Structure 1
Amino acid sequence: MATTHHHSCTLCEATCGITVTVEDDRVVDIRGDEADPLSRGYLCPKATALADLHHDPDRLRTPLVRVGDEWLELSWPAAFELVAAGLTEVREKYGKDALAVYQGNPTAHNLGLLTYGQLFFRLLGTRNLYSATSVDQLPHMLAALQMFGHQALMPVPDIDRTDLFVCLGGNPAVSNGSIMTAPNIKARLKNVRKVVVIDPRRTESARLADEHLFIRPGTDALLLLSLIEVVFADDRVCTARLTPHLTGLDTLREVATGFPPERTAPVTGIAPDRVRALARELAGTPRAVVYGRVGVCTQEFGGLAAWLTVALNVLTGHLDEPGGAMFTTPAVDALPMLSLAGQQGGFGRYRTRVRGLPEFGGEFPCAALAEEIDTPGDGRIRGLITSAGNPVLSTPNGPRLERALDTLDFMVAIDPYLNETTRHADVILPPTVHLERSHYALALANYAVRNTAKYSPAVFPRAADQRHDWEIVLELASRVLGGGLPARLLGGLGPESLLELAARRTVRRPQTPQRTQPGQAETAAARRRPGAPATAAARQTRYPRQEDPPRATRVPRRPAAPAHPPRPRAERSGADRTQAGAQ
């Protein structure tokens, strides 16, 4: 008998609603959910791969331990004991900072890792925290920290109500938005009066745009300074109600004066007349927004370019205004939770051992991970935890990192696949995958173009020999952090476990900055423990401000092996398998 389940695709930021039809414990159909208030039936080809992932025979379901050149299956209790011993030995022998953590970007799509995982990794007390943030959106988060006081306060284009959308270094036609959760972005862009794409490549988004301006790579900050110079020179600054909250306006005017379009055009490749026209369009269009994404971030002046993008929206009267770059009002505000986990933000409070690179948000840039492992000296990384990531494949200088991993004293990977990174681990702890766990878009709802709240129960129950990722980190926390978690909490009494430990260890709890649109309400769905059963998916939609936009056009057990000590680091073997979506 076939049954249909409502769920969410967690393979990208769009978080599209899906219906999953199951017959005889197999997925027979995945379609877009017409009733989903955000995606409204839209679906891209990625979502159908969820069935392939769930039924993939190569997916790991029980822990693996490396013994010599072989991988052997291990029971969960034996695996936890081995991992706890390895991590504890590194910490006791070399100090807390000798243990490093790397998290991939699927963390943002995973309720268990966002809640339990973040607290556990932070409570380890190591400065050597790394994530995909530093090869992606860090400049935008730095701008948010410096301008609004919290690294997660990044405004989102109100794409459904804007008349002029200027896209700088982004390709939303492929990404369905990034720091702009916007399913079916192609249909949304069709309703925008004018779309301008500024990119050195003729991307899929550029082909849909009304105008495509080619820019020389790495010169975005110069273009933005010239746009700002024109706004000042033409006396078109309109900061309106934001004026009392602004500082440094005269300094910005003085700096921009040195970068008129005629001076920057030979470098950016964009003609002065076109720069002036675009600046005047932005200033003269009541509902307009400038959006910058990966191309803005991954360059030498990414931090400055991200800051100037926000500044341009401020100067033209388009920050937190309808049709502009708005702060969202999600049903569950993730900022207090991030602050509790020590992620309000910070920059340059301490630096890496080898090159002196600054931390951001309590993390070092992942470009420094390899050198912090393979460079001799005090403070060298000796142990590593990787979670939901494949940094050998996705971060700078992967070959060096791959070689460095073999010099570690101990490594554990929380990952469902044997891939380019996890094959170097001593133990692999495989969590359940997408359709086996419940879902609430805790992080990405904070960047959605429409305010929705949706809890999705798991489609398949986890098997007795499987563990959710939150169960894995909770068990490791209880073993590694030295009795900080009462044994009774392992029975599933709720998320108070790590929160209690955080309170006892006096995690800094700064006051969360007030959002422009206050009034977030916590939902029962968000209070539910990850993986807990639910009777039905709860849906709710709420539009910001007053105006509802037109509805967007839809587009059609094997026996456990005994525990063995980690083998000496020598030659490594294993299948090249990349975790889907890992970064």
Structure 2
Amino acid sequence: MSLPSSSSAPTGPIETRHGACNLCEAICGLTFQVQNERIVSVKGNEADPLSRGHICPKAVALKDLHEDPDRLRQPVRRVGDRWEPISWDQAFDLVVDGLVKVREQHGTQAVAVYQGNPSIHNWGNVTHGHLFFSQLRTRARFSATSVDQLPHHLAAYWLYGHQFMLPIPDIDRTQYMIMLGANPMASNGSLMTAPDMRGRLKALRERGGKLVVLDPRETETTALSDEHLAIVPGSDAAWLLSVIHTLFDEALVKPDAWSELIQGLDALRAAVQPFSPEATAAYTGVEAAITRRLTREFAHTSAAVMYGRMGVSTQAHGALCQWAIQVINLLTGNVDRVGGALLTTPALNLISAGLMGKGHYDVWRSRVRGAPEFAGELPVSVMAEEMLTPGKGQIRALVTSCGNPVLSTPNGTQLDRALEGLDFMVSMDFYINETSRHADVILPPTCFVEHDHYDLVFLHLAVRNTARYSDAIVPAAPDARHDWQIYSELAQRYARRAWSLERSSAWQRIQGLATRALMAKLSPRRVLALGLRRHQAPVRMADLLAHPEGIDLGPLQPSLVATLRRKRKTVSLLPDAVARELPLVTAEFLSTACSDTLRLIGRRDVRTNNSWMHNSERLVSGKNRCVLWMHPHDAQARQLQDGQSVAVSSRVGRIIVPLHVTPKIRTGVVSLPHGWGHNRAGVQLKVAQAHAGVSINDLTDDRAIDRLSGNAAFSAVPVEVSPA
């Protein structure tokens, strides 16, 4: 896909440079045409072994993000209602002084951290961010994990003993796939890095396979499915339990290689006994006969896999959903099976190398609500109340890293108000957005094409084992700082400044200073090279440099069973937390009560990703995509017309949005996309403000969380819709 030329088009020879798009999880390989250090075209790289030439509009917009006049290119500090450019040296001192002052006055827990989604996409954050964040010594840690994926990690921790042991659907070899709450045609996969989903799903059908999708609306993915079931939002856990019930009831349990490793079959059989398909059908909207037929088809297929993503994670029973999906794959022998769900074996395996913590659960709880932590983080749903509720441990300072929680966490209006009352705030961001506008100091890192890249995390989630290192496409400005350089400098300055606040011995502090000074000299590329050599990876840095298009390491292979046997570990099918939860949800899941209340769900679009891609004209041009979807029957019952403005209200807020009446959504359900709402004062995003839209998270409820994991329950929010 070529980019339009401008009146100031560069002259001179054109070079082809290999890179990657790290805007979403697909990590597609790209080729850039560069002339006089300016990008003139972006195309998919057909030689890339994972993406195979696939490209979507977001990748082309990398040029827009790089050249965006609204992007910050040097630090700024807030002076009243205006922003003042400052030097990096001034900025680092202001940040350290502000954080240390709050810590001295109010204690360690008064400083909080929020890490947004791009923190994982930029590998400098992964390699060096901990140097700074660990210095803060706070338990007030939050991230986008508890916005969308915490149930996955909790299920993996319960069953396999490690939060990142996430078996990935072997989509290129499966014969039968059941997909819940996912739209990979728009997302290119999520916790399943799978670019070119259209090609992969078409190949599934061409080899005689079958795709079944459960989703309350018709999506780009359901259009390619063999069967689509419009399940009631928020009822997926009940349906999944009815599948487990059917596996036992019809003697379809065949764990195969897992027979000697799994424990608790009898206890699980007894626990799911109430949830027959006949008992849950009225609640889920899926006929019992269909559930039983799909379960039989799935169990009798030798290579099958069940996969659930955002729609099932971000609901009141997200942890139950992700646990049940794993259990169904286990009971049918499809975990660690070719064509089922397999662990990846990336070149630098962070799990086997011991570089990724296995996690822990409910070691401490939040101060106000008592929500459980996971892997050292508290749920984002409690972040605002921890700022607004007085008392010991009240959050009074915040560090945000590559995140915009005002638009991406529940009850954004409340969080907006909470941020206004902080004593100090710093944002690592290159935009003045809905969240960073509250900061006292903003530190802008380089843009995506200005630094090198290696997918340390997403290669653990890819549907094929590959390795690819990309050098910077264009050079950064002389005074720019990469994210790893920002964190390294902050870590060293903060450690020196906060010396007297540390409880460790003088010798431990000296060792810490030395370690941070050493890491500050090691770029992510050097860390990668050392890691590949030390952990005997199948490739070396020289190989990656010689093959910038990527190196194919082959399809996924069975390894989890062997790993657990080697470690003499077993899998308990019914974790204690789940065993306690099932009796509590029985009455709800077996209820036949109907309600006229509309349920709000989200919606993904291929041209957007979270909240920070709306300042590119090419991504927001065309028809307005921030509209409320509603079924014609629901519109008629409320005397609403297509195209009119309607008021949508929930417990926490009210918004005005255009209505789109369509039969492509289940009755009783309405849908809004995520990431919009750029009409707040002080935002400096000209294109985004011209296409402001409304924020779905001005409606989602911070009190609605998954009881087990604490993950935000964005899906199935009760709302009322009326003429504006």
So what's the TM-score if we normalise by structure 2? 0.70
Aligned to 1:191, the other structure's residue is in SS state helix
Contact kept, 8 Å, 1:91 with 1:99, in 2: the verdict is yes
Q: Which runs of 4+ in 1 moved over 6 A?
A: 495-499
| 1:269 paired residue number | 285
| 2:439 paired residue number | 425
Matched, 1:183 2:164: no
| 1:237 paired residue number | 253
Q: Which amino acid aligns with 2:216?
A: P
- Counterpart selection for 1:43 from 55, 60, 81: 55
Contact kept, 8 Å, 2:436 with 2:442, in 1: the verdict is yes
Counterparts of residues 16-165 of structure 1 (less than 5 Å)? 16-165=28-177
Residue 301 and residue 526 in structure 1: after superposition, are their counterparts in 2 closer, same or farther (change >3 A)? farther
CA shift, 1:542, in A, is: 1.9
Q: Which structure ranks higher in relative contact order (CA pairs < 8 Å, sequence separation ≥ 6)?
A: 1
What per-residue deviation string (whole Å, max 9, x for no partner) do you get for residues 30-51 of structure 1? 0000111111111111100000
Structure 2: distance between partners of 1:150 and 1:520? 22
Structure 2: distance between partners of 1:477 and 1:243? 49
Aligned to 1:350, the other structure's residue is in SS state strand
Matched, 1:575 2:684: yes
Aligned to 1:412, the other structure's residue is in SS state strand
| 1:351 paired residue number | 365
- Counterpart selection for 1:492 from 521, 542, 546: 521
CA shift, 1:426, in A, is: 0.3
Q: Which amino acid aligns with 1:475?
A: E
Contact kept, 8 Å, 1:65 with 1:73, in 2: the verdict is yes
| 2:384 paired residue number | 370
Contact kept, 8 Å, 2:216 with 2:232, in 1: the verdict is yes
Matched, 1:14 2:42: no
Structure 2: distance between partners of 1:288 and 1:526? 38
Aligned to 2:257, the other structure's residue is in SS state helix
Structure 2: distance between partners of 1:3 and 1:70? 41
Contact kept, 8 Å, 2:62 with 2:449, in 1: the verdict is yes
Contact kept, 8 Å, 1:18 with 1:30, in 2: the verdict is yes
Structure 2 unmatched runs, 5+: 1-12, 497-509, 529-534, 559-679, 690-696, 698-724
| 1:170 paired residue number | 182
Contact kept, 8 Å, 1:69 with 1:572, in 2: the verdict is no
Contact kept, 8 Å, 1:333 with 1:522, in 2: the verdict is no
What per-residue deviation string (whole Å, max 9, x for no partner) do you get for residues 504-541 of structure 1? xxxxxxxxxxxxxxx9826444999xxxxx67626211
Residue 93 and residue 526 in structure 1: after superposition, are their counterparts in 2 closer, same or farther (change >3 A)? farther
CA shift, 1:200, in A, is: 1.0
Contact kept, 8 Å, 2:367 with 2:386, in 1: the verdict is yes
- Counterpart selection for 1:543 from 546, 549, 554: 554
Structure 1: distance between partners of 2:682 and 2:185? 39
Structure 1: distance between partners of 2:265 and 2:338? 23
Contact kept, 8 Å, 2:464 with 2:556, in 1: the verdict is no
Structure 2: distance between partners of 1:195 and 1:536? 35
CA shift, 1:494, in A, is: 5.0
Structure 1: distance between partners of 2:435 and 2:543? 34
Contact kept, 8 Å, 1:219 with 1:268, in 2: the verdict is yes
| 1:504 paired residue number | none
CA shift, 1:130, in A, is: 0.5
Contact kept, 8 Å, 1:119 with 1:498, in 2: the verdict is no
Structure 1: distance between partners of 2:449 and 2:555? 31
CA shift, 1:467, in A, is: 0.2
- When the two chains are superposed, the root-mean-square deviation of aligned CA atoms in Å is 2.5
Matched, 1:218 2:230: no
What per-residue deviation string (whole Å, max 9, x for no partner) do you get for residues 362-411 of structure 1? 11111111111111111001111000100011111111111111111110
Aligned to 1:543, the other structure's residue is in SS state strand
Give me the identity figure in percent: 52
Aligned to 1:252, the other structure's residue is in SS state helix
| 2:212 paired residue number | 196
CA shift, 1:488, in A, is: 5.5
Matched, 1:475 2:489: yes
Contact kept, 8 Å, 1:392 with 1:398, in 2: the verdict is yes
What per-residue deviation string (whole Å, max 9, x for no partner) do you get for residues 180-211 of structure 1? 00010111011211110011111111111110
- The aligned length equals 531
Aligned to 1:6, the other structure's residue is in SS state strand
CA shift, 1:545, in A, is: 5.9
Q: Which amino acid aligns with 1:91?
A: R
Structure 2: distance between partners of 1:77 and 1:470? 16
Structure 2: distance between partners of 1:441 and 1:522? 16
Matched, 1:463 2:477: yes
Aligned to 2:260, the other structure's residue is in SS state helix
| 1:416 paired residue number | 430
Residue 62 and residue 340 in structure 1: after superposition, are their counterparts in 2 closer, same or farther (change >3 A)? same
Residue 215 and residue 55 in structure 1: after superposition, are their counterparts in 2 closer, same or farther (change >3 A)? same
Q: Which amino acid aligns with 1:129?
A: R
Residue 498 and residue 371 in structure 1: after superposition, are their counterparts in 2 closer, same or farther (change >3 A)? farther
Contact kept, 8 Å, 1:475 with 1:490, in 2: the verdict is no
Structure 1: distance between partners of 2:467 and 2:264? 38
Moved more, 487-496 or 42-51: 487-496
Contact kept, 8 Å, 1:411 with 1:424, in 2: the verdict is yes
Q: Which amino acid aligns with 1:454?
A: R
Structure 2: distance between partners of 1:386 and 1:429? 10
Contact kept, 8 Å, 1:99 with 1:128, in 2: the verdict is yes
CA shift, 1:336, in A, is: 5.8
Moved more, 401-410 or 282-291: 401-410
Contact kept, 8 Å, 1:391 with 1:421, in 2: the verdict is yes
What per-residue deviation string (whole Å, max 9, x for no partner) do you get for residues 312-358 of structure 1? 00011111101001111111112267x657x4211111111111111
